[in-house]
């Protein structure tokens, strides 16, 4: 069948102005977009997008009545500190990204956001995050949302996974890790593989 919903990979935070090369969320709305990815790891890494910039983009997308896909994720796997104790990279990084990225966003608007957990070390590497770890991340995101908003808001939040997804492992995340969906990267370039992924979760 034909895909019925359109989304964009990024946007600018101002509706209008002299920002050569950028596209505003208002323009995306006029084009018929319903979703916009905000805070993708590649935007953070290659374009230096800070949590403050991502916060502005989230607000712009929400203001124009679209649904942001808010990406969060740690750059490296858990490591050891100087005392030999394991550092919870996911907890440290993701917690901060959520707290700073959601500043000034109301409970009413938070319900429009789709949260995407994308561990950066798993993107494009072929080394997907273990489903159990993805589930832990999902629970952690709900914990932070419960602290920032309420338990009810946290339980209703939609959380998806992204990072080396393919037709062979997609079921592990949707069924076993109980993610609400997936954010497909490299596999979406191959039409045949992408179709297999859709069939697996459809």
118 carries an active-site annotation = yes
Active-site entry in 49, 74, 89, 118: 118
d(C-alpha 28, C-alpha 60), whole Å: 11
40 carries an active-site annotation = yes
Q: Which residues contact 59 (CB under 8 A, 6 or more apart)?
A: 13, 104, 105
Strands 79-80 and 86-87: antiparallel
Active-site entry in 4, 22, 40, 112: 40
Phi, then psi, of 98 in degrees rounded to 5:
-70, -50
Q: Which residues contact 171 (CB under 8 A, 6 or more apart)?
A: 200, 201
Active site residues: 40, 118
């Amino acid at each position: 069948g034909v895909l019925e919903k359109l989304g964009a990979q990024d946007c600018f935070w101002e509706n209008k102005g002299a920002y050569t090369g950028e596209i505003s969320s208002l323009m995306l709305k006029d084009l018929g977009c319903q979703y916009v990815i905000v805070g993708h790891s590649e935007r953070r890494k290659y374009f230096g997008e800070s949590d403050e910039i991502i916060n502005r983009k989230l607000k712009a997308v929400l203001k124009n009545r679209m649904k942001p896909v808010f990406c969060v994720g740690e750059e490296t796997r858990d490591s050891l500190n100087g005392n030999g104790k394991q550092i919870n990279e996911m907890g440290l990084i993701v917690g901060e990204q959520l707290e700073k990225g959601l500043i000034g966003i109301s409970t009413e608007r938070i319900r429009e956001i789709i949260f995407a957990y994308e561990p950066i070390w798993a993107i494009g590497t072929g080394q997907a995050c273990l489903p159990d770890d993805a589930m832990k991340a999902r629970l952690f995101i709900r914990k932070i949302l419960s602290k920032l908003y309420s338990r009810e808001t946290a339980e209703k939040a939609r959380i998806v996974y992204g990072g080396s997804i393919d037709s062979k492992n997609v079921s592990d995340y949707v069924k076993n890790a109980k993610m609400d969906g997936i954010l497909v990267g490299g596999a979406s370039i191959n039409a045949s593989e992408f179709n297999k992924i859709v069939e697996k979760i459809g």
